[in-house]
A and B are shown apart, each in its own frame.
Chain A
């Protein structure tokens, strides 16, 4: 079945460091891929998405490229800030379901940025 695997957390970085959070997936067909961010005590916010191979999603300095050959969608940011501290979720759309919009989530990766 379809699944998403994220790198284990927590990830602890100093401010202005480079960030990579790895995400790989298993899916049939060509799912859309997403990154969501969750700040403490809040719901999930859509960070970026990509809908086909080689697409690059970007938002707020974060980027991720849909790599079909490696079934990956790694999240990157060139210079993190303390305000980026949150939990990040990778997700894919479940095309095996007739329900468009059903997402399959990874387990989340906690990022802590220290001043």
Chain B
């Protein structure tokens, strides 16, 4: 089975902890993205990467970090500096023609 795989589906974070969300793709696309979704709101871009070993901040990068050491992987770390991390996180890949496709998402809850 191919596509975009996010894990875990559900994650709980204690105050002061860093947590990492995984995003893997086997579709051989260069561009990958992380979006955040809050209830009743649209999606906001956290980070994006257009090529291995390079990534750029999106609109709400504060409190997050990423790496892009391999083409197929783009993990997102939610650091303790992110004061309101409870949200639904969506990884996506970019294809030609400005079209992006999303993974199934990961729910992060602070406990």
Contacts and interface: CB of A to CB of B under 8 A. Distances in A.
Q: Do A and B come from one complex?
A: yes
B94 A100 contact: yes
A34 B99 contact: yes
B72 to A, nearest CB: 17
Contacts of A4: 42
Interface of B is mostly: strand
Identify which of B44, B56, B97, B100 gathers the most chain A CB atoms within 10 Å of its CB: B100
B98 A89 contact: no
Interface in B59-85: none
A58 interface: no
Interface of A: 4, 31-32, 34, 36, 41-46, 49, 51, 89, 93, 99-103, 105-108
Interface of B: 6, 31, 33, 40-45, 48, 50, 56, 58, 90, 94-95, 97-105
